[in-house]
Structure 1
Amino acid sequence: MGFLLLFDLTNEQSFLNIQNWLSQLQTHAYCENPDIVLCGNKSDLEDHRCISDERARETAEKFGLPYFETSAANGQNVAKSIECLLDMVMLRMESCVDKSQLPGIRSNAQMNGYHMDEAGEGGCGC
């Protein structure tokens, strides 16, 4: 339903690949304009940083994306970036007049990976 697009703040080529990855997501996603949050990862490695905060924010603004600097090592802004993406996805879903038209979704129970059997008993679809 949405994507976290991460690049490495310590790697110039990773940053330069953002446009290519955005193109790939728009080509192969379930809809023309998927929900995407841009994350500059490895913010904990300040001494090795190649991409400035200003440059990353300008790129995010250019593509109309929310931007977070994250660190998988210490968890900085990981939850915030995921919450932002979930908010975006939920707004998109709420704006659908007929939620049954979303690709691959047949019911609210299945949306959450939770399936009901004939007796009304539920279980995780993991």
Structure 2
Amino acid sequence: MTYDYLFKYIMVGDPGVGKTSIMLQLLGKRFGQEQKDLLGEEFGTKFIKVDDLQIKLQVWDDLWSLRYKSIPISFYRPAAGVLVVYDVIKRESFNNAQLWIQEVKDQGSQTAIIILVGNKTDLESMRQVTTEEGQQLAMEQNILFIETSAKTGYHVDDTFFIITKEIIQKLKSNQIDLLNKNCGIWKGNNVQNQITLLNQGGNRKWLGGCC
């Protein structure tokens, strides 16, 4: 399929918060699919259209945390966007989300867009973390925020649309250096529709892909 750019996203968070289920829902697969089926598929791909650009998303799950109880630094970059996921019915996962955010900021690309995702809103009666608490943490960390349900699909597509749109806006405003090998963005095969910007000398330049 023809696309303008490839954006690489990663998902981090405590085991059991629903990262794999979010990816399955995004890819249109069955909720609750056995995780063992994905152990050879640490990432999935999805095409979405934002601002007249066809974007290929490559979404990576941190299955390393299940296998090895730790995540290698190389997982954090390159990455254009990061989803820090917690479970709204598990207070501990929310508390740990603050640690995940800091690790992403320490180990990831400085230009990566981070979104805090409160998952499992379908279990409202069991909620331990309020929406306001999630919003407050995101505001304090200067990152995006959304709540989702991987089971029902609530806000799953919106999550990826929001973060993709934010990245595109930063590209258009020249806030992301595509020469940075950690940016997590590569040009696609639709060269004619790729974004052009004015460089500092006033000449047009094409936004290619980081190498």
Q: TM-score, normalised by structure 1?
A: 0.75
Change (3 A) 1:11 1:91: same
- Give the superposition deviation at 1:107: 5.8
More deviation in 45-54 or 31-40? 31-40
Gaps of 5+ in 1: 111-126
- Give the superposition deviation at 1:98: 8.6
Question: Percent identity among equivalent residues?
Answer: 24
Q: Mapping of 1:83-98 within 5 angstroms?
A: 83-96=161-174
Tell me whether 1:36 sits opposite 2:122 in the alignment: no
Of Structure 1 and Structure 2, the greater helix share is in 1
- Give the superposition deviation at 1:56: 1.4
Tell me whether 1:12 sits opposite 2:112 in the alignment: no
- 1:58-97 superposed Cα distances (whole Å, 9 cap, x missing partner): 1111111221110000000111111111012222223338
- 1:9-68 superposed Cα distances (whole Å, 9 cap, x missing partner): 000110001221011111221x22420111100000011100011111111111112211
Let me know the Cα RMSD of the aligned residues: 2.5
Of Structure 1 and Structure 2, the greater strand share is in 2
Change (3 A) 1:45 1:96: same
Change (3 A) 1:57 1:98: closer
Q: TM-score, normalised by structure 2?
A: 0.47
Tell me whether 1:63 sits opposite 2:141 in the alignment: yes
How many residues of Structure 1 are paired with residues of Structure 2 in the alignment?
110
